[in-house]
Amino acid sequence: MKYKKHIFICTNDKPAPKKCCGSDRGMELVDLFKEKIKENGLNRVMRAQKTGCLDVCAFGPGMVVYPEGVFYGNVTPEDVDEIFQSHILNDKPVERLILPEE
């Protein structure tokens, strides 16, 4: 596997009145996760990138972390540090932000 962790953040935009991750801070989240990866010197083993729709629009902004396949919803810029420290660095998903599988 090329990356120890791969973070996909939805940046999709849909026409109003649908809620969409892109206009709801999606790119801001991508930039914040990229910054954290760079600050920690993890560019070779971790990657954060934008993606199209993850089909969790009602809970956006949405993101997924692989290889675990953990989906997060309603992620805010204030959540980035917690997700990064807990899940990305220490393999402990942030339970309060995990989306139900259904």
Domains annotated for the chain, with CATH where assigned, are: 5-97 (3.40.30.10)
Confidence of residue 102 (pLDDT cuts 50, 70, 90): low
Q: CB of 86 within 8 A of CB of 97?
A: no
Closest to 94 in 3D by CA, of 81, 56, 42: 81
Average pLDDT over residues 6-15: 90
- Chain mean position to CA 94: 12
Q: What is the pLDDT of residue 85?
A: 98
Taking only the tens place, the pLDDT of each residue in 55-66 is: 988 888 999 999
d(CA 92, CA 70): 11
Taking only the tens place, the pLDDT of each residue in 62-97 is: 999 999 999 999 999 999 999 999 999 999 999 999
Taking only the tens place, the pLDDT of each residue in 12-62 is: 987 777 777 777 688 999 999 999 999 999 999 999 999 999 998 888 899
What sign has the CA pseudo-torsion 2, 50, 89, 56? negative
Token pair listed for 7: 């973070």
